[in-house]
Amino acid sequence: MDKGLRLTEKWLQRGLWLVAIVFAGFLIGLGSLVVRNLWDVERPLTVEQFMDPARARALKAELEQSRERREAARERLDQATQKHAVAQSNTRSARATFDNWLATRDATARPEQDPELIARTRALDALEADERKALGAVEAEQQAMLDATQASDRAHVSWRRLEEPAQRAFLDASEAKELRVFLYRLALTLPLLLVAGWLFRHKRKSADWPFAWGFILFALFTFFFELVPYLPSYGGYVRYAVGIVLTVIVGRYAITWLQHYLARQKQAEALPAVERRQTMRYDVALARLGKGVCPGCERPVDLKDNGIDFCPHCGIGLFDRCGCCSARKNAFARFCFSCGTAANTTLAD
């Protein structure tokens, strides 16, 4: 991650950051797929697998049977009800005809019609007997349906009784499975953080830094965000605990880095100016001057004041005169801007 001032170099640096982010994006996508599918590592759980299989099978058969019986009884009941309705209307119309006939007979009062009266009465009796029989069939089917319904209710009650402890066992097993799968997920994502830490320590400044940073982003995102929807109730503790540990490690690292930097800087400022200038990097020196700070000690200096040739804080020369044309020039420039004579050719890029 060298910071150069050349235009192409600057843009390439930005492009490499884009590479790091895209790399992280693909890794995150892949990681989230793996983390999600970890649930399927174990067999899916069902309530029935916690029931006595023989009892469950028998009860299921019983439930199915009583349901079929009830359906059949309902169909037969519909038929019988229809037949009863027909018999009822037959009787009703026959009785009406008979009543009319009887009325005429009473009016005429012809005794030779008595045998017909007997025959008609018999026919009416027969129709009434049919109606009663049809009613009997309806009642029998109602009874059959009631029996089937009660059998089904009893089977349901037995099923619920069998299901209740199974339900509890199922919930316990589900909770245990949730914990196990969470541990699998943790076992997968926690080492990613360790790898990311190693990459940060050793590879963040190597030529392959975009991949190292991509992986670091991926590991952080996966642990702190990807895991969130799968956290069990106590999962927050794991997340915050790891977050605290990580912050402490990063904080300690930053503090040590700051101390080392200050120590290094003090040591460098104690060296003679010529020697210091040679250890400085050209682009860094120019970038610092551009920000209005001394390239040697990084403290602010008024560069617009033509009277200031040396840093008032550390004493390093900021401006000098060209050995050839004696123009006042930037002491860090490699060539005199006025005559082109080489000056600080020893500064590294």
Interface with Zn ion (CB under 5 A): 294, 296-297, 311, 313-314, 322, 324-325, 336, 338-339, 341
- Tell me how far, at minimum, the Cβ of 295 lies from Zn ion, in Å: 8
- Tell me how far, at minimum, the Cβ of 315 lies from Zn ion, in Å: 7
Minimum CB distance to Zn ion smaller for 95 or for 328: 328
Minimum CB distance to Zn ion smaller for 20 or for 297: 297
Minimum CB distance to Zn ion smaller for 285 or for 297: 297
Minimum CB distance to Zn ion smaller for 44 or for 272: 272
Minimum CB distance to Zn ion smaller for 93 or for 338: 338
- Tell me how far, at minimum, the Cβ of 306 lies from Zn ion, in Å: 17
Minimum CB distance to Zn ion smaller for 104 or for 341: 341
- Tell me how far, at minimum, the Cβ of 268 lies from Zn ion, in Å: 10
Three-state SS string across the chain, please?
A: CCCCCCHHHHHHHHHHHHHHHHHHHHHHHHHHHHHHHHHHHCCCCCHHHHCCHHHHHHHHHHHHHHHHHHHHHHHHHHHHHHHHHHHHHHHHHHHHHHHHHHHHHHHHCCHHHHHHHHHHHHHHHHHHHHHHHHHHHHHHHHHHHHHHHHHHHHHHHHHHHHHHHHHHHHHHHHHHHHHHHHHHHHHHHHHHHHHHHHHHHHCCCCCCHHHHHHHHHHHHHHHHHHCHHHCCCCHHHHHHHHHHHHHHHHHHHHHHHHHHHHHHHHHHHHCCHHHHHHHCEHHHHHHHHHCCECCCCCCECCCCCCCCCECCCCCCECEEECCCCCCEEECCCCECCCCCCECCCCCEC
- Tell me how far, at minimum, the Cβ of 333 lies from Zn ion, in Å: 10
- Tell me how far, at minimum, the Cβ of 299 lies from Zn ion, in Å: 6
